[in-house]
């Protein structure tokens, strides 16, 4: 085979692989959407599940997912942002800082089910928080932490040093410089980064199975001590655990679409906002 | 040099970035209410020396320093660094206004000191902008973003911002290098005005500029101070062959 | 002056506070590790680590209990390795296309698209595997059901893809332009340059991408729970007399075991403790993989 044809073939194969990955994405969305669009209705979104989940809607699962994600963020965002500020603004080189970075990277690599097991062991049983919104959110917060730290650090890195120097040269203390001339400009990036993390967290199933998500709990939780339904777990149950899997299949499709829509719209929204901010930036 | 009281005096300052030597045994006095120019080829340590004068070098953990610098009656190290930087202001090579309004840029330093009264702030905004010869150009748009100003205006804003906290010394690191000739001329006029009230140290690559605006000139070469004298002497009758070569442009 | 010292104290408090928060990450990691160890300890003592790692009978709640987790280790390694066999060439091809071949416009669309795959909840990927791929597998290969290791491998390779693409793409993009120019100047064509100059130059980043992809695959739960069949068996087949894993059998992974049994296991029982042993095995796998990736990526600095 001549060099020319080799190169041609190579290009075709590589491009095909790339195209295929896009194909997979659209195919996935298409397959979910095709069979679920008919299921989605106002009632499906806002109704309680009825008759052992063979009828009705998924309202408590939607609310549960929103609750647990928000509660997670309440714990993870302040910790994550503070950690990022320390690492990017204060830390000098040294073994402690290396250790912190190593810990963050390893936290990011711990399998989600191991977080779940840890949450079960610590929050649910040892600390006696039970299967609850609180246990699940604390568990998810540990998972979200490394995501938020790295997103926040990235945002801080976009702030030029001249801002810090300018403030310091005017007699600002370190914190004043950070507080007034770094954080305000990094905050939009931190928030969009956190929303991206939120999207990932909202779709997690494994950690909440063991820590608080309920098989069937058609109520809106009124305290953080209650169990809750969640979209990802609900989808898992409808897809594989329900006694009449075939009967509830349409509901499973509908749940999948709502979950996917929720997660994708959050992430896409954050990505769009981020690129808008980048374009608008004047420095 | 004519003996005016030195405001700052450096004694045997040496400085390393890790293993790179950036300053070698620099001893020189900065006289009060004069313009002192620092010239020399790129990489000779001009900016580094300037940064030692308000301890901006402290920010870099890789820096190691020997020798000492006196500011008025005591060594720099004995000052609270925040207080020191307020009294020894700095204007950077690239204009670096904060992406906030003109008004907020000027008042930032004062607010840090706890000044809150609007009339006080207003007064300082006007007086520092006037002193930086920018007032007439921006008085109608104080609330607009500083990023909308031209490069020369931004640099004058940064000068005004530095003046607003009422420093005693103003350090300027090639303040005109990013500007066109018209804007440069404006800043030069401004510097000549300012020396009535402030002690100014300016780093410049531009020989004519040094000759036009400075009273004393220091010539740095590969981390050392080669010669330091009145500007007139330096330009008309330099004592060192290397100074002459550099000033007349016979130098790399 | 007192004013200044107040400010100074405040600065000190803020810095210390931020440090303490940042250091919490280390504490959390240690807490997870320590907790896994202490909870796993009773089972390790009672049963012995050897039985966990090599035994093949997993029946922790039976009256004559068995704690051999090797079946699940086998299952996890089998699907993770299988997934990488698919996603390494696929991911590298996508990374190469994005950084070297794609026109700027295409790249701008392609990169976020692949990253979007990473956002897909694993339960949704599992669902698609269940309703789309599994029936197809059953039909095509004439099986009674499609919940096989093969199905898991395919879905898992999709999940590992974004990790591999994004890290490998970073590595490839950071190969200096001079290398490429030197290669072209020597008369190499684009393919030769990519294969013989760019990929070797980016090999540490590419290796790290593969390691992290492996970590991601070993740790994945929901997708495999839904499509790999969860059978406690080690399907093998003989090819030319050689025993090889049979990808058309069902397997159960370490992760799936925790998810299945963790919900109704009595707290404090030996079974409970043995799940922490499995958690510990998973933690060790991913910790080691991350550490290696880390070392490979920062080799130059060491
Ligand atoms: N942050 C730094 N880290 C390491 N080395 C540095 C750093 N800043 C400057 N240097 C080195 O110290 C020496 C002096 O640098 P400096 O910036 O003071 O030179 P300069 O005279 O201001 O040059 P220029 O005219 O180009 O601005 C140079 O060799 C430079 O490479
Ligand atoms: Mg310089």
Is the residue at A257 inside a domain? no
User: What total of structural domains would you count in chain B?
Assistant: 1
Which CATH number fits the domain that encloses residue B216? 3.40.50.300
Q: Considering only CA atoms, which of B192, B15, B174, B212 is closest in space to residue B92?
A: B174
Alpha-carbon distance of C1 to C8, in angstroms, equals 11
Give the count of domains, chain A. 1
Q: Which of A93, A171, A282 sits opposite B82 (nearest CB)?
A: A171
- pLDDT of C301: 41
**Residues of chain B positioned with their CB less than 8 A from the CB of C6:** none
> Within a 13 Å sphere around the CA of B131, how many CA atoms are in the beta-carbon half?
21
Q: Which domains does chain C have, with CATH numbers?
A: 69-297 (1.10.3720.10)
The residues in A 138-177 lying below 8 A from C, measured between CB atoms, are: 142, 145-146, 149, 173-175
Which of A32, A107, A175 is nearest residue C28 as measured by Cβ atoms?
Answer: A107
Cα–Cα distance for residue pair A156/A190, rounded to 1 Å: 8
At residue C232 the predicted structure's pLDDT band, cuts being 50, 70 and 90, is: confident
Q: How far is the CA of B57 from the centre of ligand 2 (A)?
A: 13
Cα(C206)–Cα(C209) distance, integer angstroms: 5
Cβ distance of A232 and C121 shorter than 8 Å: yes
State the residue range of the domain holding B191: 6-247
What is the phi/psi pair of residue A66, to 5°? -65, -45
Q: Which of A61, A62, A222, A202 is nearest to A137 (CA)?
A: A202
Burial of A38 (0-12, 13-18, 19+ CB in 10 A): exposed
Task: Of B47, B51, B116, give the one whose Cα is nearest residue B85.
Answer: B51
Residue A164 lies in a domain: yes
User: Chain B partners of C8 at a C-beta cutoff of 8 Å?
Assistant: 80
Q: Between β-strands B88-91 and C236-239, what pairing exists: parallel, antiparallel or unpaired?
A: unpaired
pLDDT score for B4 = 64
Q: What does the angle CA C76 – CA C82 – CA C86 come to, to the nearest 5 degrees?
A: 140
- Is the CB of C7 less than 8 angstroms away from the CB of B82? yes
User: Rounded to whole angstroms, how far apart are CA atoms A255 and A45?
Assistant: 9
Asked if residue A22 belongs to a domain, the reply is no
Ligand 2 midpoint to CA A153 (Å): 29
Taking CB atoms and an 8 Å limit, are A117 and C258 in contact across chains?
yes
Note the pLDDT tens digit of each residue in C222-231. Answer: 999 999 988 8
Longest dimension (CA), chain B: 57
Listed residue (C184, C172, C206) closest to C100, CA to CA: C172
- Interior CA angle at A138 toward A137 and A139, to 5°? 90
Q: Is residue A177 situated within a structural domain?
A: yes
* Band of pLDDT at residue A39, cut at 50, 70 and 90: confident
Q: What is the ipTM of this complex?
A: 0.92
Contacts of A87-92 spanning 24+ positions with Cβ under 8 A: A87/A149, A87/A153, A87/C22, A88/A153, A88/A156, A88/A157, A89/A156, A89/A164, A89/A174, A89/A178, A89/A182, A90/A174, A90/C15, A90/C18, A90/C19, A91/C22, A92/B61
Does residue A254 lie within any of the structural domains? no
Partner residue facing B85 (CB), from A168, A185, A282: A168
The ligand 1 atom at the shortest distance from the C-alpha of residue B223 is 14
A103 and C26 Cβ atoms separated by less than 8 Å: yes
Measured distance CA(C112)–CA(C110) in Å, rounded = 6
Q: Whose CA is nearest to atom 25 of ligand 1?
A: B42
Q: Which atom of ligand 1 is nearest to the CA of B23?
A: 14
- Residues sharing a CB contact under 8 Å with residue B61, sequence separation 6 or more, in sequence order: A92, A93
Which pLDDT score is estimated for A46?
Answer: 81
Instruction: Identify the pLDDT of residue A43.
Output: 83
Instruction: Beginning with the edge strand found earlier in the chain, give each strand of the sheet holding B74-75 in spatial order.
Output: B74-75, B63-71, B6-17, B20-31, B224-230, B216-221, B35-39, B199-203, B169-173, B88-91
The average pLDDT across C197-217 equals 91
Residue B223 · residue B24 · CB < 8 Å: yes
Tokens linked to C143? 């099986």
* Crossing angle of the two packed helices B118-131 and B151-164, in degrees rounded to 10: 130
CB B86 to CB A171 under 8 A? yes
The reply to whether B52 falls in a domain is: yes
**What does the DSSP assignment read for A108-138?**
HHS-HHHHHHHHIIIIIIIS---SSHHHHHH
Burial of residue A128 (number of CB atoms within 10 Å: 0-12, 13-18, 19+): exposed
Does residue B1 fall inside a structural domain? Answer: no
- The owner of tokens 């095709």 is A34
The H or E element spanning position B39 is strand B35-39
How many CA atoms lie less than 13 Å away from A27 in the CB half-sphere? 13
Our separate counts of H helices and E strands in chain C read 14, 4
First to last CA, chain C: 47
To the nearest whole number, what is the mean pLDDT of chain A? 90
Using one digit for the tens of pLDDT, what is the confidence trace for A106-141? Answer: 999 999 999 999 999 999 999 999 999 999 999 999
- Band of the pLDDT at C302, cuts 50, 70, 90? very low
Q: Which domain holds residue A76?
A: 59-228
Q: Give the residues surrounding ligand 1 with Cβ less than 6 Å away.
A: B 17, 20, 22, 40, 42-48, 60
Rounded Cα distance between A91 and B147, Å, is: 30
Segments of chain B scoring below 50 in pLDDT? 1-2
Distance B95 CA to ligand 2 centre (A): 14
Cα C51 to the center of its chain, rounded Å: 25
Contact C26 A205 (CB under 8 A): no
Q: Sign of the CA dihedral C288, C226, C86, A143?
A: negative
Contacts of B243 (CB under 8 A, 6+ apart): B219, B226, B227, B234
- Closest CA relative to residue C183, chosen from C174, C175, C192: C192
- Tokens 């202001």 identify what position? B89
In chain C, residues with a C-beta closer than 8 Å to the C-beta of A58 are none
Contacts of C7 in chain B (CB under 8 A): 82
Report DSSP state, residue C101: I
In this prediction the pTM is: 0.88
* Ligand 1 atom with minimal separation from the B60 CA: 1
Q: What are phi and psi for residue B201, nearest 5 degrees?
A: -120, 125
Q: Which of C25, C117, C221 sits opposite A206 (nearest CB)?
A: C221
Please report the pLDDT score of residue A57 as a whole number. 79
Distance CA B44, CA B30 (A): 19
Q: What is the mean pLDDT of residues A278-283?
A: 80
Q: Which residue has the higher pLDDT, C297 or C11?
A: C11
Can you give the C-alpha Rg of chain A in angstroms? 23
**B59:A165 CB<8 A:** yes
Contacts of A157 (CB under 8 A, 6+ apart): A88
The pLDDT tens digits of the residues spanning A211-221 come to 988 887 878 88
What secondary structure letter does DSSP report for A155?
Answer: H
Tell me the chain C residues in contact with residue B83 when contact means C-beta distances shorter than 8 Å.
Answer: 4
pLDDT of residue B9: 94
| C contacts of B80 (beta carbons < 8 Å) | 4, 8
Own/partner pairs for A237-244, CB < 8 Å, 24+ apart? A237/A53, A238/A53, A239/C123, A239/C126, A239/C127, A239/C130, A239/C131, A239/C226, A240/C130, A240/C225, A240/C226, A241/A215, A242/A52, A242/A53, A243/A52, A244/A52, A244/A54
Short-list A200, A173, A94, CA closest to C23 = A94
CA of B249 to the centre of ligand 2 (A): 19
* Tokens (6 digits) for C58: 């997993």
Which residues in B have their CB inside 8 Å of a CB on A?
Answer: 54, 56, 59, 61, 82-83, 85-87, 89-90, 92, 94, 96-99, 108-109, 112-113, 145, 147, 158, 161-162, 165
> Does any domain span residue A246?
no
pLDDT at A66 > cutoff 50:
yes
Is residue B252 one of the residues assigned to a domain? no
Q: Closest Cα to residue B106, out of B69, B157, B35?
A: B157
C78-82, C100-104, C116-120 — most confident range: C78-82
Q: How far is A94 from chain B, CA to nearest CA, in Å?
A: 11
Q: What percent of chain C has pLDDT over 90?
A: 53
* Residue C82: predicted pLDDT: 95
Query: Any idea which of A268-282, B19-33, C135-149 has the lowest mean pLDDT?
Result: A268-282
Instruction: Compare all CA atoms of chain B with the CA of C3 and give the residue at the minimum distance.
Output: B113
Query: Measured in angstroms, how far is the CA atom of residue A252 from the centroid of ligand 2?
Result: 65
**Quick check: is B172 in a domain?**
yes
The token pair that represents B86 in the structure block: 């307020």
pLDDT of the residue at A279: 84
Q: Does B83 touch chain C (CB under 8 A)?
A: yes
C169-195 mean pLDDT: 87
- Let me know if residue A241 belongs to a domain: no
Query: Do the domain assignments include residue A266?
Result: no
CATH number where A158 lies: 1.10.3720.10
Chain C: touching chains (3 or more CB pairs < 8 Å): A, B
């Amino acid at each position: 085979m001549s060099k020319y044809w080799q190169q041609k073939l190579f290009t075709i194969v590589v491009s095909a692989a790339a195209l295929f990955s896009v194909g997979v994405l659209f195919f996935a969305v298409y397959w979910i959407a095709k069979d679920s669009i008919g299921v989605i209705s106002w009632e499906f979104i806002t109704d309680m599940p009825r008759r052992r989940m063979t009828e009705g809607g998924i309202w408590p699962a939607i609310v549960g997912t929103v609750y647990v994600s928000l509660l997670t963020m309440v714990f993870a965002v302040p910790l994550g942002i503070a950690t990022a500020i320390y690492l990017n603004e204060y830390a000098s080189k040294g073994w402690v800082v290396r250790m912190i970075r190593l810990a963050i990277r390893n936290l990011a690599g711990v399998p989600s089910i191991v977080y779940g097991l840890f949450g079960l062991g610590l929050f649910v049983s040892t600390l006696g928080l039970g299967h609850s919104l609180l246990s699940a959110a604390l568990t998810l917060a540990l998972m979200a932490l490394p995501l938020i730290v790295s997103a926040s650090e990235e945002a801080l890195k976009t702030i030029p040093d001249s801002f810090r120097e300018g403030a310091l040269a005017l007699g600002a203390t370190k914190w004043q410089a950070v507080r007034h001339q770094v954080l305000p400009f990094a905050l939009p990036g931190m928030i969009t980064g956190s929303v991206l993390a939120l999207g990932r967290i909202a779709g997690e199933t494994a950690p909440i199975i063991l820590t608080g998500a309920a098989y069937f709990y058609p109520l809106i939780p009124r305290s953080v001590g209650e169990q809750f339904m969640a979209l990802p777990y609900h989808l898992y149950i409808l897809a594989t655990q329900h006694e009449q899997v075939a009967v509830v299949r349409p509901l499973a499709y509908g749940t999948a679409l709502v979950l996917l829509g929720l997660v994708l719209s959050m992430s896409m929204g954050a990505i769009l906002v981020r690129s808008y901010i980048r374009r608008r930036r004047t420095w | 040099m004519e003996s005016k009281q030195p405001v700052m005096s450096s004694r045997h300052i040496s400085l390393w970035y890790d293993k790179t030597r950036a300053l070698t045994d620099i001893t020189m006095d900065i006289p009060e209410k004069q313009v002192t120019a620092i010239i020399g080829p790129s990489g000779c340590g001009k900016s580094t020396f300037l940064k030692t004068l308000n301890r901006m070098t402290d920010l870099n953990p890789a820096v190691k320093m020997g020798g000492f610098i006196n500011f008025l009656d005591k060594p720099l190290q004995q000052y609270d660094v925040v207080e020191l930087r307020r009294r020894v202001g700095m204007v950077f090579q690239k204009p670096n206004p904060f992406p906030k309004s003109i008004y907020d840029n000027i008042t930032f330093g004062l607010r840090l000191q706890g000044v809150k009264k609007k009339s006080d702030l207003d007064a300082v905004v006007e007086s520092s902008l006037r002193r930086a010869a920018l007032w007439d150009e921006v008085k109608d748009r104080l609330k607009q973003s500083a990023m909308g100003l031209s490069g020369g205006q931004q640099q004058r804003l940064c000068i005004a911002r530095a003046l607003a906290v009422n420093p005693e010394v103003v350090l300027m690191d090639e303040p005109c290098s990013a500007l066109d000739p018209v804007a440069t001329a404006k800043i030069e006029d401004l510097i000549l005005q300012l020396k009535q009230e402030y002690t100014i140290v300016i780093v410049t690559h531009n020989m004519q500029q040094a000759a036009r605006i400075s009273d004393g000139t220091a010539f740095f070469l590969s981390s050392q101070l080669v010669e330091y004298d009145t500007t007139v002497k330096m330009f008309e009758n330099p004592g060192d062959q290397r100074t002459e070569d550099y000033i007349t442009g016979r130098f790399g | 002056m007192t004013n200044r010292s107040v400010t100074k104290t405040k600065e000190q408090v803020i810095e210390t506070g931020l440090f303490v928060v940042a250091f919490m990450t280390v504490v959390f990691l240690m807490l997870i590790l320590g907790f896994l160890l202490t909870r796993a300890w009773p089972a390790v003592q009672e049963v012995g680590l050897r039985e966990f790692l090599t035994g093949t009978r997993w029946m922790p709640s039976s009256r004559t209990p068995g704690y051999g987790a090797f079946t699940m280790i086998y299952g996890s390694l089998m699907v993770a390795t299988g997934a990488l066999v698919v996603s390494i060439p696929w991911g590298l091809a996508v990374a190469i296309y994005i950084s070297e071949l794609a026109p700027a416009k295409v790249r701008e669309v392609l990169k976020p698209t692949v990253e979007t795959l990473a956002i897909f909840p694993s339960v949704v990927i599992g669902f698609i595997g269940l309703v789309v791929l599994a029936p197809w597998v059953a039909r095509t290969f004439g099986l009674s059901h499609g919940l096989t290791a093969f199905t898991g491998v395919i879905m898992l390779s999709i999940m590992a893809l974004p990790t591999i693409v994004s890290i490998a793409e970073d590595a490839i993009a950071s190969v200096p332009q001079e290398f490429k120019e030197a290669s072209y100047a020597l008369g190499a064509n684009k393919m030769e340059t990519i294969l013989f100059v760019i990929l070797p130059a980016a090999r540490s980043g590419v290796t790290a991408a593969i390691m992290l992809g492996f970590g991601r695959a070993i740790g994945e739960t929901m997708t495999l729970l839904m499509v790999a069949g969860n059978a406690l068996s080690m399907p093998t087949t003989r090819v030319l007399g050689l025993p090889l894993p049979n990808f058309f059998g069902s397997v159960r992974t370490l992760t799936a075991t925790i998810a299945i049994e963790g919900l109704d296991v009595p707290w404090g029982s030996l079974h409970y403790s043995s799940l922490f042993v499995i958690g510990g095995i998973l933690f060790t796998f991913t910790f080691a993989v991350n550490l290696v990736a880390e070392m490979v990526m920062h080799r130059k600095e060491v």
